[in-house]
Structure 1
C-alpha cells in the first residue's frame, strides 16, 4: 500500500520570522473494507517550524466532509525553531456505517486547520475518494486488504464445495472436503481439481474489467452475485475460486500482472512467507516444484468446460521467463488472514431460493498427480560436530566488564533479533536436527499503515511468528535487506573464526536476564541465559540462509553466573552443574523459572523470553 503525500501547507505572519509548514501523508482512497480492517487514513503527519523563533500554542484540527471520521485535534505547547515535529496518535477510525452504505464512489474532503499563538489560522483541503462498499481500490492503495473481498463463507461457495464432493465420489474418491488433513499432496491435487471442475459448471460468461484495474481497482462481484448474474471479470473469478479453496481449508494466493489476475493454490501446507511477494522467480520456483499451482481463472467462462490441468498450463505460462516483465506481484491470502484481514460481512438477506443445480456440464476431474512430479522436502545433512576446546572457550568468558556481550547484549548490526513464541519447542526442534529458514517480518506489511492498538499489533506479530514456526521459519523483526546484511556479516565472521581458530563463535542466545547495576540505575542491560551453538548455511550467494544447531552442548552463560556471584552475592547452584532436562532435551521453561525465582527480589532484574543470533565468544564489543 502506498502513501499519498500531500504538499506542505505553510502558516505565516506578515513578519517573516515565524512560519509553520504542515506535511501530511494521507490515504487517497477509503472504503468499508479499510474501515473494517483498521487501515489508517493519516499515514504520517508532521509540523515544521521553518524559522528562527519558537512557535507556541499550536493546534491542528482535522475535519472530514462527509464525516467519515470524527473531528480530531492535536495540541502542541511549543515547536522549537528549525524543528520538524512528527505527530503521534494518528488513529482516526472510519465510520463503517457511512462507508458500508455507499453503492457508488463519492469524492470527499479532509481539511486541516492549523493555528498558533500570534498567527492567523490557515486551512488546507485534501481530496479523498470514498469507494463503494463492493469496490476495491487497486494494488497501489489497497493490496494488503484484497483478502477482505474473498468470501469463503457465502452459500454459493458451499454449493460449489458440495458439487466438488459429489464429483469426487462419482469418480471413486472420498467426497470429504478435508484440506491438508491427510498430509497428502496427491489428495489435495484431486480436491483442488474437483473444486475447479465444479466451478466450471456454473456456466459463467466473461466480463471485461476496467482498464488498469490492477492499479486503480474495480467493483467486485461476490460469489452470490457471480452465480446469480452469471458474469465474472478475471478478478471476480479469481476471488471466487480463492474463496472456494479457502473454504476447503487450502492456502491460496492471488497473482497479478499488467491488466490481469489469476489464482494459485498450494498442494502442501505452505505459503509465500509474506503478504506480498513481488519476486516472480520465487513464485516460479514453487510452481516448478509442484508445490504451488497457478490457475487461469478466465477459463471458467469457456465452452466446453476447460479442465484443471489446462487451466494450470495457462496459469504457468503467465509466469514464464518470456512474460515475467508483465508480472507485478502475488498477494498471499494465508498471510493476510494471519494478519487479521477479515472477509467482508455480507449483510445480504436472501431474496431467492437456493440454487439446486450447477448450471452447466462441469469439466472432468484431473488425472492423479504423477508421483515423480512432486519432490519431497530436501533432506539436510546432519550438522557436523563443532571443533574447539572447552577450556579455551571458558577462558574467554572471564571478562566481567560491560564490554562483554555476554553481560551487555545490545541490538547492534552484529546481532539478529528473533521472535520465538515457543522457545522450548524451537530448541527441541533444533536439537533434533531441524533446519530453519528466517522470515523478515517487517516486509510482511501486516501492520504498517493500519490504525490498530499497540497490543493488537504485537499480538499480530506474535501470531505471524507462531505461524512461521509451523512452517519451519523463525521470524526476525527486520526488513529482508537489513536481515540479509546482518546474516552475511555473521556468516562470514563465523567461517573466519572457525578457519583461524577451530572454534565456533556463533550462538543463538535463548532467554535473557534484564538487569541493573543498582536499584537507582536508570540504565538496564541484557545478558543471554542459554547459548545454543548454531551454524548458518546457504547453497549460493543468492540463496537464503538456513539456521541449524551444531552437535555441541548447549551452555549456560557461566559469565552471567559468575557476575551474579561476584557483584550481587547471588548463587544459582541448580544451573551450575547439569542443566534440567525433559524427554526432549533441555527443560527450557524449568531453567527460566529457576532463574526467575532466584532474581525475584532483586530490584531491576527480570527474565525475558527473547532470542537473538550473534557472535558471543570472540567478538567483544
Structure 2
C-alpha cells in the first residue's frame, strides 16, 4: 500500500509543475521588471551575498562611453527604447586566478543609466512587497546562469531558462546628490537557494536528461560546468553565463517541495499520515466496503437528513456530504460542482 501511496503522491507533485512555455522558469524573457547584471563574477557575487551575508549595491553606467561595451540587444540602456541596440558582451567575464578589485567589492554593475536603473529598482521593490503581502511568498530572485535549449533539433528558436535562483530582498537607501536618484541594494534573505525544478522535470520528462543537483558547498561556476557537461550532447544547447534580478513565481514549487517525502522527519512521514493515505488511496474501512467514493443517502428516509439544519436548500448529494461530515465525522475530499 505504501508503494501505491508513494506513486500517487509523486503523480500529484508532478502536476504542480507547469512544463509549458507559459512558465517563466522555462521560457524566460527580460522585461522592464528585471535588472541585468554585467561585468561581475558569479562566484564572487555568491560569496559576498550568500556566504558573507553582505548587501550589494546596484550601480549605473558612469558615462555614455561605457555604453559601447554594455548593452542589451534591442534596448538602449540610456534611453530604454526598444529597437535601438548598443554593442556589448552579454556574457559575464570568465574567472581567472587573479580577481580584479572591481569584482571583489559590494557593487553590482548594470547596463542602465541612473534614471532607468532607479525606475526599475523602484518597480521591483513595489512588486516584491506586494507579492509578500498578498501571497506570503518572496518572488524576487537573483538568477545566476541560463540554459539555452530547444524543443527539437529542427527548431531554430532557443528557449532560455535560469539555473540558480538566489532569494533576495531589495531596499532603497541613500540618495545620490549628483544624480538626484536613490541607491538600491539587495541582500540574501536566508531562504533556500533553488535550482530550477521546472527545468529539471522538463528535461527529465522530455529528453531523459537528469540535471545535476546543487549541493551546499558547490559554487555557481562549478554548477555551470556540471550543467554544461550534461547538455553538451545536444546540438546548440549551452549554458549562458549571465545574471539577472527578476520576479519568479514559486507558489506551486513551494507545494511541490513541501510534498517531498524526504523533507519530512523520520517517524512522521507524509505518506504515513492518515488523511494523506485516505485521499490518495481511497477508504480502507470495513463499513465503507473499500469504496473510493462516498455513499449518497436517501434523504427522504434517512433520519440524519431530517436532523440536519441547513441554511440553504441542498440536493441529495450535497446533503449526503454534510451528513458524512457532521454525523459520521469523516474526512472528505469534495469535488464540485457544489
Q: TM-score, normalization: structure 2?
A: 0.56
1:595 to 222, 227, 231: 227
Matches within 5 A, 1:537-616: 537-539=171-173, 543-572=182-211, 574-575=212-213, 579-582=214-217, 586-616=218-248
Structure 1 pair 485/457, CA: closer, same or farther in 2 (3 Å)? Answer: closer
For residues 189 and 15 of structure 2, the distance between their equivalents in structure 1, rounded to whole angstroms, comes to 20
Distance change >3 Å, CA 527–CA 436, structure 1 → 2:
same
How far, CA to CA, are the matches of 2:108 and 2:16 in structure 1?
28
Higher radius of gyration, 1 or 2? 1
2:44 is matched with which residue?
425
Provide the residue aligned with 2:136 in structure 1: 502
The whole-number CA distance in structure 1 between the counterparts of 2:167 and 2:134 is 18
Kept in 2: contact 1:532–1:555 (CA 8 A): yes
1:407 corresponds in structure 2 to 26
Contact kept, 8 Å, 1:508 with 1:614, in 2: the verdict is yes
The answer as to 2:70 corresponding to 1:438 is: no
Change in Cα spacing, 1:570 to 1:498, as seen in structure 2 (3 Å) is: same
Contact 1:439-1:473 at 8 Å conserved across structures: yes
Three-state SS of the structure 2 residue aligned to 1:484 is: helix
Match of residue 512, structure 1, among 110, 129, 146: 146
Partner SS state of residue 610, structure 1: strand
- Return the offset for 1:471: 3.4
1:520-539 aligned at under 5 Å gives the runs 520-539=154-173
Deviation of the 1:458 alpha carbon: 4.6
CA shift digits 1:544-570 (9 cap, x unpaired): 111111111111111110010112111
| Offset of residue 488 of structure 1 | 1.2
CA spacing shift, 1:399–1:615, aligned 2, 3 Å? same
Distance, in Å, in 2 between the alignment partners of 1:397 and 1:409 is: 19
Counterpart Cα distance in 1 of 2:22 and 2:245: 18
| In structure 1, distance between residues paired with 2:142 and 2:158 | 21
Size of the alignment, in residue pairs?
212
Question: SS of the counterpart of 2:210?
Answer: coil
Is the 2:145–2:242 Cα contact (8 Å) retained in structure 1? Answer: yes
Q: In 2, are the aligned partners of 1:511 and 1:529 still within 8 Å (CA)?
A: yes
Equivalent residue, structure 2, for 1:71: none
Offset at residue 616 of structure 1 (A): 0.6
Offset from partner CA, 1:35-67 (integer Å, 9 cap, x none):
xxxxxxxxxxxxxxxxxxxxxxxxxxxxxxxxx
Higher relative CO (Cα under 8 Å, sequence separation at least 6) belongs to 2
Q: Give structure 2 stretches of 5+ with no counterpart.
A: 1-12, 70-86, 176-180, 253-338
Contact 2:57 2:107 in 1 (8 A): yes
Match of 2:118 among 479, 484, 487: 484
Question: Do the aligned partners of residues 486 and 515 (structure 1) sit closer, same or farther apart at CA in structure 2, a change above 3 Å counting?
Answer: same
Q: How does 1:60-459 map to 2 (within 5 A)?
A: 398-431=17-50, 432-441=52-61, 443-447=62-66, 458=89
Cα displacement (A) at 1:474: 0.7
Secondary structure of 2:201 counterpart = helix
Secondary structure of residue in 2 paired with 1:545: strand
Aligned partner of 1:31 in structure 2 is none
The residue aligned with 2:249 is: 617
In structure 1, what is the Cα distance between the partners aligned to 2:60 and 2:215?
Answer: 33
Task: Report the 3-state secondary structure (helix = DSSP H, G, I; strand = E; otherwise coil) of the residue aligned with 2:235.
Answer: coil
Per residue, is there more strand in 1 or in 2? Answer: 1
CA distance in structure 2 between the partners assigned to 1:470 and 1:436 by the alignment:
11
- For the Cα contact (< 8 Å) 1:397–1:558, is it kept in 2? no
User: How many angstroms does 1:466 deviate by?
Assistant: 5.9
Q: Is 2:118–2:182's contact at 8 Å kept on the other side of the alignment?
A: no
C-alpha displacement of 1:444: 2.8
- Give distance in 1, aligned partners of 2:200 and 2:241: 18
3-state DSSP of counterpart to 1:538: strand
Residue 590 of structure 1 deviates from its aligned partner by 2.1
CA contact (8 A) 1:397 1:617 kept: no
Contact 1:533 1:554 (C-alpha < 8 Å) held by counterparts: yes
Instruction: Find the aligned partners of 1:566 and 1:475 in 2 and give their Cα distance.
Output: 37
Aligned to 1:48: none
CA distance in 1, matches of 2:235, 2:68: 38
Q: Is the 8 A contact 1:422 1:466 kept in 2?
A: no
Give the deviation of 1:521 after TM superposition.
1.3
SS of aligned partner of 1:612: strand
Task: Kindly state the Cα deviation for residue 490 of structure 1 after the two structures are TM-superposed.
Answer: 1.0
Structure 1: which 5+ residue stretches go unaligned?
A: 1-393, 451-455
Shift of 1:435: 0.7
